[in-house]
Amino acid sequence: MSHQFFFILSGKATLEIDGSCQVLSQHEGVEVPPNVPYQILNEGESNLEFL
C-alpha cells in the first residue's frame, strides 16, 4: 500500500481520517497514510474539485 495525497482545487472538502474530521479549502492538501480508513465528503454548496 502507498500513501495518498488529496489536494483541493476548488470548493471545500471534509476528510474523515481514522475517525477525525478535517475541513480543507482551496489550495490545501492532506496526506493519508496506508491502511488508515478515510472518506472525503463535499458538504458545501459548491462543486468540489480535487486531485
pLDDT 10s digits, 1-51: 789 999 999 999 999 999 999 999 999 999 999 999 999 999 989 999 999
Phi, psi angle pair for 48, to nearest 5°: -110, 125
Sheet of strand 29-32, all strands in order from the earlier edge strand to the far edge: 29-32, 4-10, 49-50
Residue 41: what pLDDT?
Answer: 96
Distance, in Å, from the CA atom of 3 to the CA atom of 12, rounded to the nearest integer, reads 21
Q: Is the overall model pTM greater than 0.85, yes or no?
A: yes
Residue 1: what pLDDT?
Answer: 77
Residue 30 pairs in a beta bridge with: 6
